Amino acid sequence: MQELQTLIKDAVKKLFDIDIDVELERPEEKFGDYSSNVAMQLGKKLDKNPLEIAENLAAEIEGANVAGPGFINITLSNQTIAKAVQSAAKLPKPYANQEILVEFGDPNPFKAMHVGHLYSYIVGESICRLLEAAGAQVKRLSYHGDVGLHIAKAVFGMKAIEHDRKNQGQTSSNPDADNVEAFMGIAYAYGSKRYDEDEHAKVEIDQINQHIYKQDDTVINSIHKRGVELSFKYFDKILDLLSISNDRRYFESETTPLGLKLVTENIGKVFIKSKGAVIFDGEEKNLHTRVFITSKDLPTYETKDLGLVELKDIDFPQAKHSIVITANEQTEYFKVMLAALAEIKPALAKKTRHLAHGFVSLSTGKMSSRSGNVLTAEDVLTHTKLAISNSFQEIDTTSKEQTMLAAVKYAFLKHRIGQDIIYQPEVSVSLEGSSGPYLQYAHARACSILAKANKTGEMNDLEPAERSLARKITEFPEVVARATEELMPHHICAYLYELAQSFNRFYESNRVVGDKREATRAALVSIYADVLASGLGLLNIEAPEKV
């Protein structure tokens, strides 16, 4: 594609002495392999007939013809397609040696890992893999609220549960990884309910909140520490299942001092005092005005996030970009936080980007962990396992897990980031239509064909059906480049589904094993399988050789 862009650009320079950026699109196959509207762009610049310009340019470019009011369609030679298809799995490295930070997931200890966290982890990991495929050195980060009123409520709940157990002559509660989620959910829901309904409990929880910030109470410190450890024991179990790692976990307790320092140093310059609080006046920037330090001298999320940006820079001073992935309900919040950061440390604000995703639900509406009624990550995986059991009667445990993960990951990733998703487990596991298991089956089918083929050969002389599949394969680097530039993995999903469909159309009428063109076709199937596996890898989905 880049070579063709250069060829057209050189032709424009030769004929019209103009430097212009050339954009290429993939038209329907019957119109050619690439299409450009460069002649129409030049027509405006030169005040000339675009059709005449297109005809002059087409004469300079092999395989070019003119369509409509001035579009240039280009059909590549079989030799060019054959050469391109053999290097389709080799991706360019535009971010070579650049360190990029990606923060995603971010479940808070003492609370359940809900479906939103699961979505963030799945999306974040795919974005990390896209950047790594483009040559970046990616650092996977997460940020967790281990201080604040919600934590105090959970600690209060844990303390009450522990007290009840001792009164009943039982030992201190220490749930295993399988029961941590339920235990923490009960503790938080209990503390939240008591905070709303019992004034004495409210006073105690507010005191616990202060103790957690100051770390000045040994009993509270002990419960808090154990709660954090238990929470991450459970989180790690899910992340291991998802094949997602973490390079650095940040906690609000460590970002708070840095954030407070940044805010207090800039009172009167970036922040102002109002009614005992410290605020950022965003009105003149058409943003919300937000509190950074409350009238009780407690830092808000905004202040802690400023400290987080600072701490990331201390830990990773060479990072070129910093991407933060959260739900889209935080979009306006991040605009204010980054606006304040831009006035304090403009270089850090410039390289920080907020990427917002939508909500995921089954059919129960928006989630609320306050009542304990929350759609958890475990719920989603369990629903999917059940759908697999119902759809595939004979499937072993390993295959069931592999299929479940493919179903969930693909179902989340095939939607454009920012859209809300209603997850349907039965649809996600279907072998008909755009699904993760369908693509796994497609890869296994290709591997089965290759296992029966005797040899692979050259692809210089492609028949029409072979060329059509090869053409689709050559789109892979372009799709990956677009997905990486936009940070949108759904482009990969759409392409892989189209690729599998292209292969099915090819294979319906073109036998591989035992055909006189077996060597050529086997080579084509081998590259198809490699590209399919590579694309699934970018989605963090296994590409099995057998199903």
Interval 311-325 mean pLDDT: 98
Mind listing the pLDDT tens digit for each residue in 448-482? 999 999 877 778 789 999 999 999 999 999 999 99
Label residue 512 by pLDDT band (50, 70, 90). Answer: very high
Report which DSSP code applies to 102. Answer: E
Alpha helix positions (H), 345-396: 346-351, 377-391
Interval 183-207 mean pLDDT: 92
Q: What is the pLDDT of residue 74?
A: 96
Residue 500 has pLDDT above 80, yes or no: yes
Kind of pairing, strands 277-280 and 290-293? antiparallel
Tell me the percentage of the chain whose pLDDT exceeds 70: 95
Label residue 388 by pLDDT band (50, 70, 90). Answer: very high
Q: What is the pLDDT of residue 257?
A: 94
105-247+306-361: CATH homologous superfamily?
A: HUPs (3.40.50.620)
Q: What is the pLDDT of residue 502?
A: 97
Label residue 363 by pLDDT band (50, 70, 90). Answer: low
Label residue 365 by pLDDT band (50, 70, 90). Answer: very low
Instruction: Kindly provide the b/e burial profile for residues 188-206, where b requires at least 16 CB atoms within 10 angstroms of the residue's own CB.
Output: bbbbbbbbeeeeebeebbe
Handedness of CA 166, 170, 175, 176 (dihedral sign): positive
Mind listing the pLDDT tens digit for each residue in 398-437? 888 999 999 999 999 999 999 999 999 999 999 999 999 9
Which of 127-131, 167-171, 206-210 tops mean pLDDT?
127-131
Q: What is the pLDDT of residue 145?
A: 93
Label residue 111 by pLDDT band (50, 70, 90). Answer: confident
Residue 283 has pLDDT above 70, yes or no: yes
Per-residue tokens: 436? 């993760």
Residue 123 has pLDDT above 60, yes or no: yes
Kind of pairing, strands 360-361 and 290-293? unpaired
289 closest CA partner among 306, 277, 307, 299: 277
265 with 257: CB under 8 angstroms? no
- Token look-up 């057998």 returns 546
Q: Which CATH architecture has domain 2-76?
A: 2-Layer Sandwich (3.30)
pTM higher than the cut 0.85: yes
End-to-end CA distance of the chain: 36
Rounded Cα–Cα distance for residues 309 and 306 (Å): 5
Interval 164-179 mean pLDDT: 59
Q: How many other C-beta atoms are found inside a 10 Å radius of the C-beta of residue 444?
A: 15
Task: Categorise residue 145: left if φ over 0, alpha if ψ from -120 to 50, beta otherwise.
Answer: beta
List residues bridging with 327 in a β-sheet: 357
Mind listing the pLDDT tens digit for each residue in 6-17? 999 999 999 999
Stretch (H or E) spanning 100: strand 99-103
| Long-range residue pairs from 175-183, CB within 8 A, at least 24 positions apart, any chain | 175/230, 177/233, 177/234, 177/237, 180/230, 180/231, 180/233, 180/234, 181/112, 181/113, 181/234, 181/376, 181/378, 183/230
Rounded Cα–Cα distance for residues 408 and 380 (Å): 8
Interval 266-277 mean pLDDT: 96
**Spans of all domains in the chain:** 2-76, 105-247+306-361, 431-538
Average pLDDT, the chain: 92
Rounded Cα–Cα distance for residues 333 and 198 (Å): 31
Q: Strands, E, within 411-476: which ranges?
A: 421-422
Q: Which CATH architecture has domain 431-538?
A: Orthogonal Bundle (1.10)
Rounded Cα–Cα distance for residues 131 and 104 (Å): 14
Q: What is the pLDDT of residue 315?
A: 98
Q: How many other C-beta atoms are found inside a 10 Å radius of the C-beta of residue 48?
A: 14
Label residue 393 by pLDDT band (50, 70, 90). Answer: confident
CA-to-CA dists, residue 441 to 161, 271, 381, 404, 407, angstroms = 48, 57, 20, 13, 12
Q: What is the pLDDT of residue 173?
A: 59
The phi and psi torsions of 74 (rounded to 5 degrees) equal -125, 125
